[in-house]
Structure 1
Amino acid sequence: MKLILSVESVRFPLTGIGRYTYELASRLQHAEEISELRLFAGRKFLPELVSPSDQSDAVHGLKRFVQKNALAVEVYRRLMPILRKQALRGHEDFIYHSTNFYLPPFAGPRVATFHDLSPFTWAHCHTPQIARYLQRELTQSLKRADALITVSHCMRQELADYFNWPLDRIHAVPLASSPQFHPRSPDALREALARHGLQPGGYSLFVGTIEPRKNIVSLLDAYSRLPLALRQRWPLILTGYHGWRSEAIHDRIAQAQQQGWAHYLGFVASADLPLLFAGARLFTFPSHYEGFGLPVLEAMSSGVPVVCSNSSSLPEVAGPAALMCAPDDVEGLTALLQQGLEDEAWRATAVQQGLLHAGGFSWERCAQATVEVYKSVRER
């Protein structure tokens, strides 16, 4: 098979979608079933797969400007399909796979990965112009696609129900944690964590975009209810890129910082992130809505106990290893956080269960299952 893979999301800041795209592309390059692989981004083919940068660049700055301007978003929405269609002309014997929902006009077979339906179900967590753009483009992709991939079984059913799409043309292909996420000794962590003012096992951790959907204010409220001695011994460390409507969240984080039991690290370099995970006493992720919830799996692979919400796909990703409660249950979350920090018997069991459960996911399986989707499209 010949394949065109969209790798546009492999860029700063590297989100879960960018990580999925990078890991998938890395493995598809070696897939025996694929005779030719071409990587596509923007409106051009790339000579090779590049590693994502930890630094903002001019392209990122332009993207941020466009996203804030409704007219610029509309111009982009109308112009880019034309430019991409021209760039893809003559490649109709390839399968085109969009790893982030958007399918341009293309005469050959088309596959799109849908990570979540937040532009529809959590539209208020996007800027109005971006929500409208995403809703239009997601709808167009549904019309163009020959098959869809979702990153969890939960999302597969939600997508089928929401759009009345045939379930047999939606394929759940779970993600995985990357090899860099694994347990590490305190000595291996000490130097890297010291750069952030941290010590191995000396903090709780949240990793994710700073936005309302991640339920960070409820996390801070729950953490503030813990005994002061616990908060001082294991402060809450947060890291992630600034998202839409994050001002109030940052104000709340600043209050907790002033009280001495929380700290926001900003966007941490990808090389440091696995070390930050492995050094945590506890990972907490009370998100309202996730298509997958990759940080939960990364924490488990790092040998760190997890407390998360029981919403959307998270029970599927966390399995039996995590403590879970409803995302709006602040009192219940406080109790689970305290158990996660203090209950040594549960912690030991959670680490072993987490490692075992996370071992059931791999990028190799993800890539092979994706190839099977391509095969089904060619056969159809």
Structure 2
Amino acid sequence: MKVILSIDAVRFPLTGIGRYTYELARHLQGSSEITDLRFFTGKKFLPELPQVTEEAGNQHKLKQWVQSSYVATEAYRLLMPCLKARALRGNKDFLFHGPNFFLPPFAGPKVATFHDLSPFTWSECNTPQRIKYLQKELKKTLKYADALITDSEYTRQELSSYFAWPIDKIHAVPLACGPEFHPRSADELTPCLQRYGLSSGKYSLFVGTIEPRKNIMALLDAYAMLPMSLRQHYPLVLTGYQGWRSEDIHQKIKQAEKEGWAKYLGFLPAEQLPLLFAGARLFAFPSLYEGFGLPVLEAMASGIPVVCSNSSSLPEVVGEVALMSEAQDINKLSELLAQGLQDDTWREWAIKKGLERASVFSWSLCAEQTTHVYKKIMVSSS
């Protein structure tokens, strides 16, 4: 098989979709079933998979400017597909994979990965112009794709139901986390944690984009219900890229920081994140909606017990290992946070079972299952 993989998402900040694209690209390079793998970004092919910088460059600043302007967004939406189509001419014997929802005009077989339906079902969690852009482009993807990939069975069923798409043409391929997420000794963690004024096993952790969909306000409210002595002994540490409508969330975090039981670290370099996970006593993730929920998997792989919501795809990822509640049930969430911090019997069980659960997921398996999808598309289109 000959495959063109779009790697537009492999850029700063490397959030969930960027990490998926990068790891998929890296592992597809070792596939014996792919004879020619080409990486495509913007309107050009790249000779190799790029490394992601840890700082915002000019390209990231330009993207932010485009997204802030309706005229610029529409100009980009109308012009870029034409430029991509021109660059892709003469490659219809390749299969094109858009791992970040989008598909450009392309004469050969096409598949796109839909990570979630938030642009349609959670449209209040982004700017109106960004939502309009996403909805227009994703509907085009649905019109032209030969097949779709989702990160979870939950999203597969949701996608089929919402758009009346044939379920047999949607394939659930679970994500994974890298080997850098694993249990570590306190001595190994000390240099990194000291930089942030933290100690191993002495804090709870949230990792994710700071935005309403992650339900951080509810997490802060639930944490505030714990005894002050417990909160100060195990402060809530939050890290993630600043997202849409985050002003009220940051204000609430600052108030908790003043009270001495929370700390926001900003967006951390990729190499520090596994250390922060491994040093936590508890991982808290009460998200309202996820297409997969990679942070809970990274926590389990790091040997950290998990408290999360029972929404969307999260139960599919954690199985029976995590303590779960309704996302908006603040009283129950607070009870589970207290149990997760203090119940040593449950914690010992959760650490052991979490490591077992995490071992089921791997990027090599993700790439293998993705290749199977490619084969099905190539057979049906021949």
- TM score, norm. by length of structure 1: 1.00
In structure 2, C-alpha distance between the alignment counterparts of 1:294 and 1:181, rounded to whole Å: 12
Which string of whole-angstrom CA distances, capped at 9 and with x for unpartnered residues, describes residues 176-201 of structure 1? 11110000010110111111111110
Partner SS for 1:245: coil
Q: Which residue of 1 aligns with 2:313?
A: 313
Deviation sequence 1:110-138 (CA, Å, 0-9, x none) = 00000000000000101100000000111
1:253 alignment partner in structure 2: 253
Specify the code of the residue in structure 1 equivalent to 2:311: S
Q: What CA RMSD, in Å, does the superposition of the two structures yield over aligned residues?
A: 0.5
Residue 240 of structure 2 aligns with which residue? 240
SS of the residue corresponding to residue 4 of structure 1 reads strand
What letter matches 2:267 in structure 1? F
Aligned counterparts, 1:154-165, within 5 A: 154-165=154-165
1:1-380 equivalent positions in 2, closer than 5 A? 1-380=1-380
Paired letter, 2:4: I
Query: What amino acid is aligned across from residue 202 of structure 2 in structure 1?
Result: G
SS of the counterpart of 2:79?
Answer: helix
1:147 aligned partner, one-letter code: A
Offset of 1:37 from its aligned partner?
A: 0.5
Cα deviations across residues 147-205 of structure 1 (Å, max 9, x unaligned)? Answer: 10000000000000000000000000000111100000101101111111111101000
**1:236-263 deviation digits (Å, cap 9, x = unpaired):** 0000000010111101111101111001
Separation in 1, partners of 2:47, 2:124: 38
Tell me how far 1:76 sits from its aligned partner. 0.4
Cα distance in structure 2, aligned partners of 1:332 and 1:41 = 45
3-state DSSP of counterpart to 1:55: coil
Counterpart of 2:197 in 1: which secondary structure? coil
Deviation at 1:146, TM superposition (A): 0.3
Identity %: 63
Number of paired residues? 380
Structure 1 counterpart SS, 2:96:
strand
SS in 2 for 1:155: helix
Distance 2:43 2:208 in 1: 29
Q: Which whole-Å CA distance do the structure 1 matches of 2:233 and 2:48 have between them?
A: 46
Q: CA deviation at 1:47?
A: 1.2
- Deviation >6 Å, runs of 4+: none
In 2, the alpha carbon distance for the partners of 1:276 and 1:259 equals 22
Where structure 1 has 5 or more consecutive residues not aligned to the other structure, the ranges are none
Separation of aligned partners in 2, 1:379 and 1:356? 36
Q: Distance in 2 between matches of 1:270 and 1:50?
A: 15
2: distance between equivalents of 1:53 and 1:313? Answer: 30
- Deviation track 1:32-86 (CA, whole Å, cap 9, x = no partner) reads 0000000011111111111211110000000001101111100000000000000
TM-score by length of 2: 0.99
